[in-house]
Amino acid sequence: MLAGLGLDWGCGTGCLGLTAVQIPTVSHIIGLDIDPANIAAAQHNAVVNGVADRLTFLLADSYTPFAAADQAALSAYAGRIDFILANPPTSEGDDGFGFRRLVLEGARPFLKPGGVLFLSVSYQYGRIRIHRLTQEVTGFTYGGLLASTDWVPFDMQRPDLYHCAELYAAEEQAGGPLHEFRHLAAADQILNAQSALAHFQRTGQSPLSQWQTHLFRYEPVTDQGWQMLMETMETYQMDTGISNLADQYIHNQ
Ligand SMILES: C[S@@+](CC[C@H](N)C(=O)[O-])C[C@H]1O[C@@H](n2cnc3c(N)ncnc32)[C@H](O)[C@@H]1O
């Protein structure tokens, strides 16, 4: 799946793009990041690793470069991108998926039909949130787990991760889906964010999680596809007497 032209959303110091571009089937990668220091570091790392000719780094807010020339350069890739790599940050005050929705939504004009998006979503967010992404952002199918670390501590001594756990617990208390950590002493024991936080406050022990990457495939429905879908639905409705199916389908899209 890593072949052709790629985008590295939120490239940071370039680690994902720099690694991917070493794969012989990958021709070129464009890295995007909002932080000028990251773009400078990524450019430096590309030179040091001898791959600067196969990587371009653009200062951008999401998929919108700040400089007009960079906007023009990026727009030339519309509809031509084979894969997108994204390890987005967690946004404050939402369910942790604000940037992930943004990455998927903004990917649509760039990806070829059948193009793939490798999205980092760690284990503790749970499957419900990941599956919900394809309902919230249409045009993608979920392709499953691509890669995972082993169980590793979600180090709550780190203020940023402790703060994340507090946000997760608050979301659970407000009725959101439960998060899923594992117990440090028994990896088969599931802890939600509230119990993981309480356990840490009592014992100083962090729970376990896994850093993971999931696959999303861009499969927009073509005009011809819509036509076929509608005809199939009409036939189904006539055969079964079940009406309103097409309306419901369109509504859900
Ligand atoms: C979790 S880091 C990932 C860095 C690197 N790709 C990695 O996997 O180590 C998220 C990156 O997204 C960048 N970022 C945050 N908001 C952004 C935005 N609106 N547009 C582009 N990049 C953004 C940050 O500067 C940061 O480099």
Structure tokens at 238: 């006539």
Q: Whose CA is nearest to atom 12 of ligand 1?
A: 10
User: How far, in Å, from the CA of 24 to the mean position of ligand 1?
Assistant: 25
Q: How far apart are CA 143 and CA 117, in angstroms?
A: 10
pLDDT at residue 22, rounded to an integer: 96
Among residues 51, 52, 50, 69, the alpha carbon closest in space to that of 60 is found at 69
Task: Please write the tens of the pLDDT for every residue from 126-149.
Answer: 999 999 999 999 999 999 999 999
Task: Please write the tens of the pLDDT for every residue from 198-246.
Answer: 999 999 999 999 999 999 999 997 666 667 666 766 776 777 776 555 4
What percentage of the chain has pLDDT greater than the value 70? 89
pTM: 0.87
Q: How far apart are CA 140 and CA 116, in angstroms?
A: 9
User: How far, in Å, from the CA of 70 to the mean position of ligand 1?
Assistant: 18
Task: Please write the tens of the pLDDT for every residue from 87-120.
Answer: 999 887 788 899 999 999 999 999 999 999 999 9
DSSP secondary structure of 120-140: E--GGGHHHHHHHHHHHSTTE
Per residue, what are the HEC states of 71-108? HHHHHCCCCCEEEEEECCCCCCCCCCCHHHHHHHHHHC
User: How far, in Å, from the CA of 179 to the mean position of ligand 1?
Assistant: 23
Q: Whose CA is nearest to atom 16 of ligand 1?
A: 34
Pocket of ligand 1 (CB under 6 A): 10-12, 15-16, 32-35, 38, 60-62, 87-89
